[in-house]
Amino acid sequence: MLEIIEPSETPAGPVGPTEWMDVAACVGHSDLFFAPFAERPEARVRREAAARMICSNCVGLSSCQEYARSNRELGFWGGESESERAEAGFPPTTPIIGRKRVAEQRARDAMANAS
């Protein structure tokens, strides 16, 4: 028999402070930080490289990284991709890492060989 679980009356919010989001360098650039549907691995490598450049000059980098790790976020946060966070022990709540990691490495290798 299935047990019906009632939703909590108070939804859980993000873990940790979020005020850094107001001054983050990525404001207005969400297209670089979240993958579009059916993104090709080569496009992901290019998109994440552009996101990494924005992150490298951001005053909220460490807060963003901590937030993404604590909340098991999807997307590119705090200078890290989903697979990089997973390798650091903070996998996203959605298991999408496996084959994507292999495809990303193949795309990086192909781009490096093409340069």
Q: Which domain holds residue 60?
A: 20-114
In a domain, 66, yes or no: yes
In a domain, 11, yes or no: no
In a domain, 76, yes or no: yes
State pTM to two decimals: 0.69
What pLDDT is recorded for position 11? Answer: 47
pLDDT tens readout for residues 27-85: 999 899 998 888 999 999 999 999 999 999 999 999 999 999 998 888 999 999 988 99
Q: Find residue 77's DSSP bridge partners.
A: 80
- The per-residue DSSP string of 68-100 comes to HHHHT--S-BTTB-HHHHHHTT---SS---HHH
- The per-residue DSSP string of 20-67 comes to GGGG-TTTT-HHHHSPPTT--HHHHHHHHHHHHHHHHT-TTHHHHHHH
In a domain, 4, yes or no: no
The count of structural domains within the chain is: 1
